Structure 1
Amino acid sequence: MAPRYDAVIVGAGFGGIGAGIELDRLGLSNFVILEREADLGGTWHVNRYPGLAVDIASVTYSYSFEPNPYWSRLFAPGAELKKYADHVADKYGLRRRMRFGVRVDGARWDEALQQWEIALAGNETVTARYLVTATGFLSQPYTPPFPGIDTFAGRIVHTTAWPDDLDLTGRRAAVIGTGATAVQLVPELAREVAELTVFQRTPIWVVPKVDLAIPAAVQKLFAAVPATQKAARAVNSGLLEALMVVGVLHFRQAKPLNRAVGVLAKAHLRAQVRDKRVREQLTPDYDFGCKRPTFSNHYFTVFNRPNVRLETESIDRIEPDAVVTTDGRRTEIDTLVLATGFNLWDVNFPAFEVIGRDGVDLGKWWRDNRFQAYEGITMPKFPNLVSLNSPYAYSGLSYFTTIEAQMKHMGRLFGEMLRRGARTFEVTGAANDRFLAEVTERLDDSVFYGGDCATARSYYFNPHGEAALLRPNSTIGTHRQAARFPLDDYTFDAATAARTRSA
């Protein structure tokens, strides 16, 4: 039986869109993109909370091959990212091959037919020669199991399910969480509610945000002379590279740079918060970079407002009308906002059950044998699977750095397979082991292992204590490897069939 599709892509965010564009370029155009949400855009469709914006400059947080000259601000609001995703999907003819409201329950490799069987909710099964998982790194919302949360009589809102018509005027609200989402949301809520209590478990490094409106004249210049926007992208990318690669990944060699950024962040905090005790509570006690930092000019000043209080005691329980901390204090509220982020390692690697050759369960294999993926994209025992959100995949600070590197890897891998007339590919165990050893050694210089990250509670670390999310390479190095990796790091269908017979 021939498979129904050349490929099934799971996820219609920017990763899935990029994969679709690359498959079209390769001539593998008979694919479908399955998306559990009602529309495309991934995080930029799901998230609609007040203050939502990119925290990487828009000229960098976009496809290099599809620049948008009309960003309204240096850091564009979320609605513009959703509009950009719509534009790209329509321009490249992807929307007509998308199915929305479809949940993937699992996928299994059929060795006899050399194809993937993808099980969908509702007892539907589709088949494809290739499977591409593009479910994103931050796609599984996390709600902490606070005792009593089910008894809360007021309204509970998770930031990933923000109602468009929610009016919090005059409310007594609590925000749980102080990550990147809260940094954007809290200043907006503080202007609306009567009382706001921010429950902080771990303080976050915040640096000034050089956010400016982009004048219409500059937008017209970007549209008329694309090289100018390309230059702006190069400058911004270079700054991010220095922050991430030098200050974080080469911490041992560049401690002064890391310390300097920390000093800048502390000066920013000191200039914006009047109360000394609150400043101390907002100051991280771990090294810069252990936890993803963020940018804001307004978050800290919120804590000068009379209607805002910072709470650093741990939460003991939730009552019908209050949050109770371990010291016995009750904070009476009528609205509970959960800015508690995502469950990254427990349910997102992978986001659904994936069974490969010889019945190997990908999630179990990762947890039993360390989280790993060759070049952050393929795994042995999983033929014809491209996993875009894998361990050691994330490169640089802009997600588009990762996406475009993975598109290059797909181009080289699929191009060679098609050149040979092969039907399957699979990375060798030796190549995978070599890559894992290399990234482990390189990360030894990073702030994750060379710095003080004990109190960071960072999602960069998996349950085994390994920083297995970020690729320890420069952007140039990652893209070079994606375009030049040894082709014999993969076996193609003849070798796969021979190995199966011998087994």
Structure 2
Amino acid sequence: MSAARRSAGPSAAGHRAAPARGVLPNHAPESGASESDVLPNHAPEGGQDPATPALAPDHEVLVIGAGFAGIGTAIALQKAGVTDFLVVDEQDDVGGSWHANRYPGIAVDITSFSYSFAFEPYPHWSRAFPPGAELKAYADHCVDTYGLRARLRTGARVTRADWDETAHLWRVRFAGGATLTARFVVCATGWLTKPKTPDLPGLDRFRGPVVHTARWDPRVETAGRRVGVIGTGASAVQLVPRLAPEAARLDVFQRTPIWVFPKPDVPIPRVVRRVFAAAPWTQRSISRATDAVTELSFVLAMIHYRRFPFLVRAGEAVSRLYLRRQVRGDRDLVRRLTPRYRLGCKRPSFGSGYWRAFTRPNVELVTESVTEVTESGVRTADGVHHDLDVLVLATGFHVLDNLPPFPTHGTGGRDLREFWRTERFQTYEGTAVKGYPNLWFIVGPYSFTGGSWFGMIDYQLTHILRVIGEARRRGATEAAVRPARHDRSFRRTLRRQGDTVFLDPSCRGTNSYYLDEHGDAPAVRPASTRTAGRRARTFDLDDYRFRRAGDDRADLL
């Protein structure tokens, strides 16, 4: 009988739980303290602590990251009866990007009905596209509703993870020297965690404030000042309309224009919110509808681009029409703001007033490349010096080049980053990697389907919990995806990738984080969320090899 039909989820049967090890403080280290003061150091470098049994790690599951991916993982583990887990995050609170990013105008760019857990609808959204503070509040709501604070450690930055082939566990090190061991590790660190600072000569010489959108300093004063914004991605689309009315002058330095669509952001009346609270099924119904629209528009248009190219062209036509209505009568400005690449090569955005902001007399779009930053401004390739008081970097994040976000060594001590760089980004079903047992990525190569972020989290957790459940059922301490099955999955992904818009010649040179140096598009899984979910529910569990530490048998039945 196929193992895919033997187990549907975790069970306590056949699993010997690790002994309790006490509760760690649920806060970042206080001033003067290091992580080593608040995290147990059971497994010092150089070998396993003799007092720690091989089959009793500090925790059965370690979840790295306390954004929505990590929060969802913790809730799913708890619901499945896996209680010995710990969630760690380098920041001082939960929420991930929604805790770190606080620039003016920050908001979600997908409707709140889709950007939430299906099992935990939130009736308190004030708008269809709520501001960032409400997303942070929703993260807190989920953590508190499901009682996760006691299993959460903030201020704990992972610096390295090593697979112990003998004990079948991961040794995870933290800044400050502490080490935790875990049977299974779920990497839920997300994409938007490491801000990208442009390599511009003289950036450190600028005398005024320099602030990245991902590390916004509310003390920086922009009203009545000359402000420069470098970058025209999704963050700039939200930030520029907020800065334009208040800045004495705003120069926006554009390298690549962005496709923008009108943002149907409307307030949600209180009476509607009361209906959502009293009858959650009403909100779920809307969520299913918005999910379907998002899936159809992205999957059909971009994932199946070669079969439906007219959908991409139609989307481009809508965006161009919106641009002409926002920027009336200025053909040169329209030309400079119009992308020269196919819709989908780079992440598009929804905007309210972004393009219109460039029609203001105090706002200038600069398309000449930046050559240097001086003490008092920015110089561009045409020799013009732009005098500035404040410089804002809306230059995005390291995405693919930050995977994994810390050195990770699997079987034979091979570094995962080296493996991906030399042999291309590849995964089994978007979550596991051959040679790295008991490790899964919520957001890794070929995981995001382009629809709802929460839909991706859901299907990834379905996959992970099935494997952990099967390992428990078999009494296994190692679950390793079989290399042949891994390679077959990767080949299937590459074949489907050929139909996507990402391989269109116009995508080359767009500096899109969807693409890597190999010409692949590993940031997006070429499948619908529904297809990925079906695969997560039905893949053959015998695609994994299950073993027990100290047992010479190749597989456990």
TM over 0.5: yes
Contact 1:174 1:333 in 2 (8 A): yes
In structure 1, what is the Cα distance between the partners aligned to 2:509 and 2:203? 26
Q: Paired residue for 1:289, among 329, 339, 344?
A: 344
Q: Does 1:310 align with 2:355?
A: no
* 1:103 equivalent in structure 2: 157
**Aligned CA distance change for structure 1 residues 349 and 424 (closer, same or farther; 3 Å):** same
* 1:55 equivalent in structure 2: 109
Secondary structure of the 1:295 match is strand
Q: Paired residue for 1:23, among 77, 85, 96?
A: 77
Secondary structure of the 2:537 match is helix
Letter in 2 for 1:217: V
Report the TM-score, using the length of structure 2 for normalisation: 0.88
Contact 1:252 1:450 in 2 (8 A): no
Secondary structure of the 1:304 match is coil
Secondary structure of the 2:507 match is coil
Q: Does 1:429 align with 2:483?
A: yes
Contact 1:38 1:101 in 2 (8 A): yes
* 1:485 equivalent in structure 2: 539
In structure 1, what is the Cα distance between the partners aligned to 2:117 and 2:161? 29
* 1:420 equivalent in structure 2: 474
Q: Does 1:332 align with 2:400?
A: no
Q: Does 1:323 align with 2:323?
A: no
**Deviations 1:272-322, CA, capped at 9 Å, x for gaps:** 113211110000000011111100121010011011000000110000001
**Aligned CA distance change for structure 1 residues 475 and 107 (closer, same or farther; 3 Å):** same
Letter in 2 for 1:311: V
Segments ≥4 residues shifted beyond 3 Å: 494-501
**Aligned CA distance change for structure 1 residues 253 and 497 (closer, same or farther; 3 Å):** farther
Contact 1:251 1:450 in 2 (8 A): no
**Deviations 1:368-394, CA, capped at 9 Å, x for gaps:** 111011111111111111122210011
Contact 1:134 1:389 in 2 (8 A): yes
In structure 1, what is the Cα distance between the partners aligned to 2:505 and 2:166? 49
In structure 1, what is the Cα distance between the partners aligned to 2:338 and 2:324? 10
* 1:280 equivalent in structure 2: 335
* 1:407 equivalent in structure 2: 461
How many residues align? The count is: 500
* 2:128 equivalent in structure 1: 74
Letter in 1 for 2:371: D
Letter in 2 for 1:339: A
Secondary structure of the 2:281 match is helix
Secondary structure of the 2:86 match is strand
Secondary structure of the 2:87 match is strand
Mapping of 1:115-194 within 5 angstroms? 115-194=169-248
Q: Percent identity?
A: 47
Contact 1:10 1:35 in 2 (8 A): yes
In structure 1, what is the Cα distance between the partners aligned to 2:128 and 2:247? 29
* 2:315 equivalent in structure 1: 261
Q: Does 1:366 align with 2:442?
A: no
| Deviation (angstroms), 1:500 | 8.2
| Deviation (angstroms), 1:44 | 0.2
**Aligned CA distance change for structure 1 residues 60 and 189 (closer, same or farther; 3 Å):** same
In structure 1, what is the Cα distance between the partners aligned to 2:218 and 2:94? 18
Secondary structure of the 1:366 match is helix
Contact 2:503 2:519 in 1 (8 A): no
In structure 1, what is the Cα distance between the partners aligned to 2:509 and 2:425? 22
| Deviation (angstroms), 1:499 | 7.7
Gap runs ≥5 in structure 2: 1-52
Using the TM superposition, name which of 336-345 and 450-459 deviates more. Answer: 450-459
Letter in 1 for 2:396: G
Contact 2:117 2:454 in 1 (8 A): yes
**Deviations 1:162-216, CA, capped at 9 Å, x for gaps:** 1233321111010000000000000001112100000000000001111110111
In structure 2, what is the Cα distance between the partners aligned to 1:329 and 1:165? 29
In structure 2, what is the Cα distance between the partners aligned to 1:114 and 1:500? 14
* 1:438 equivalent in structure 2: 492
Q: Does 1:350 align with 2:404?
A: yes
In structure 2, what is the Cα distance between the partners aligned to 1:499 and 1:276? 72
Contact 1:345 1:463 in 2 (8 A): no
Letter in 2 for 1:337: V
In structure 2, what is the Cα distance between the partners aligned to 1:327 and 1:164? 33
Q: Paired residue for 1:209, among 240, 263, 266?
A: 263
* 2:513 equivalent in structure 1: 459
| Deviation (angstroms), 1:498 | 4.0
* 1:87 equivalent in structure 2: 141
Secondary structure of the 1:281 match is helix
Aligned-pair Cα RMSD in Å: 1.5
**Aligned CA distance change for structure 1 residues 352 and 239 (closer, same or farther; 3 Å):** same
Letter in 2 for 1:260: A
Contact 2:475 2:548 in 1 (8 A): no
Letter in 2 for 1:396: G
**Deviations 1:213-255, CA, capped at 9 Å, x for gaps:** 0111111111222221111111111111111100100111111
In structure 2, what is the Cα distance between the partners aligned to 1:315 and 1:497? 61
In structure 2, what is the Cα distance between the partners aligned to 1:413 and 1:40? 27
Gap runs ≥5 in structure 1: none
* 2:46 equivalent in structure 1: none
* 1:220 equivalent in structure 2: 274
| Deviation (angstroms), 1:362 | 0.6
Contact 1:461 1:467 in 2 (8 A): yes
Contact 2:166 2:549 in 1 (8 A): no
Letter in 1 for 2:467: L
In structure 2, what is the Cα distance between the partners aligned to 1:22 and 1:381? 25
Q: Does 1:232 align with 2:286?
A: yes
Letter in 1 for 2:518: H
